[in-house]
Structure 1
Amino acid sequence: MNLESIYSEEITWAVIGDILNKEKYAYKILKNFENKGYNVVGVTPYDEIDGEMKELKDIDLNIEGVNLCVSPSKGYENLFNDTNHKIKYVIAQPGARSEKIKELCKDRGIEYIEACTLVTLIKKNRI
């Protein structure tokens, strides 16, 4: 399946990363998703930030897509600890990729894709 068709599905996404820093890709991806009307929630796994969701498992919505914009260790930790959601897709951004995450996704029947969300969706005028 290609990214354009995945991003055209009406599912709820989680963006995991530094969603509060305007200079970071996690923030840019989250805001672009929001601006285009996607169902999306931000997750920041950094303990020093209060008042924001810190782990994927804490989200009450039905998450089916995850966009990783975080270190591979934090990404793996969030995916490994989450058993609440029926995740269909994990999109790993540059710098967020690892074989360990890829294997976890394979074991759980999740489609793992290494791609740049902003580039893909800007080309399709979706973001």
Structure 2
Amino acid sequence: MTSKKTLVIGASENPERYSNRAIRSLRSHNHEVVALAKREGKVEDVKIATDFPADKVHTVSMYVGPQTQPEYYSQILEMKPQRVIFNPGTENEAFSALLEENDIEAVEACTLVMLSIGNY
């Protein structure tokens, strides 16, 4: 399996949060992870940054609601990931349409489920 560098937006140090679980699962599946949140922190070996990364990533996994997403639109579009995964509760029709217009796949799915069934 090829490693797919993933940006997790809405990362949390709280092990009960799905973003935290996703980071740990991505790492256990040998994917490189870049994490972004309003507060710095760390999940295992992954540093949570507060500034949008300059790194090129394959996938963006959203863990922030549609009301918070607009602040990330231009940076995600400039980054040109291959896909953006809208985890449950983060679905955003307007942003999905904008992504598709820019040849970026918009996926409404759960990162954790995708990893567990092998279709990440």
With the length of structure 1 as denominator, give the TM-score of the two structures: 0.76
Gaps of 5+ in 2: 42-47
Instruction: Tell me by how many angstroms 1:103 deviates.
Output: 1.7
| Letter of the 1:94 counterpart | P
* Whole-angstrom distance in 2 between the partners of 1:82 and 1:120: 21
Q: How many residues align?
A: 114
Instruction: Tell me by how many angstroms 1:63 deviates.
Output: 1.4
Q: Which residue among 111, 123, 127 is the counterpart of 2:117?
A: 123
In structure 2, the partner of 1:4 is: none
In structure 1, the partner of 2:13 is: 20
| Letter of the 2:103 counterpart | G
| Letter of the 1:118 counterpart | L
Runs of 4+ in 1 over 4 A off after TM superposition: none
Instruction: Tell me by how many angstroms 1:18 deviates.
Output: 3.4
* Whole-angstrom distance in 1 between the partners of 2:110 and 2:84: 12
Higher helix proportion, which one? Answer: 1
Gaps of 5+ in 1: 1-7
Residues 62-113 of structure 1, C-alpha deviation per residue, up to 9 Å, x if partnerless? 1121001111122332133345422110010011111121122122210001
